[in-house]
Amino acid sequence: MQRKLNHIHQTDQEIFRQIDDAIRGERLFVNPNLHRKDIMNRFGLRRQHLNDILTAYSYRQSFPAYVNSIRMQEAERMIKEKPNMTISAMAQSIGLSMANFRGIIKRTYGVTPSKLKKIL
């Protein structure tokens, strides 16, 4: 029984890697209309299975939180590599409205986007 469970566990980990590769590599996160259902359909997963995979391999994040964490990683990269890029252009380039971008930055880093630019 233990051997079978390990096999299932490894399979879920591989599915997570494929999902992560698609969202990052194909830049699916820039689509403001990216939904859990898009990933479920693409990978043939039921909602609960996707949730279980994300819980196990993305530090217990929900789908929206997981996608937003990828967006924040991209925002950090852009702040460092493109310091002259406007905050609104940055928000748009990662699939967020300015209001959502501002809110997520504030919740994640505790500062406004403009202050984050100065810090990084």
pTM comes to 0.87
According to DSSP, residue 85 is labeled S
Higher pLDDT, 120 or 85: 85
64-78 mean pLDDT: 96
Q: Which pLDDT does position 13 carry in this prediction? A: 94
- Taking the mean position of all CA atoms in its chain, how far away is CA 54? 11
Q: Which pLDDT does position 72 carry in this prediction? A: 97
**Angstrom distance (rounded) from CA 57 to CA 50:** 11
What ranges do the domains of the chain cover? 2-64, 67-119
73-100 mean pLDDT: 95
Q: Which pLDDT does position 3 carry in this prediction? A: 40
Domain 67-119 fold is Arc Repressor Mutant, subunit A (1.10.10)
Would you say residue 91 has pLDDT above 80?
yes
- Taking the mean position of all CA atoms in its chain, how far away is CA 13? 16
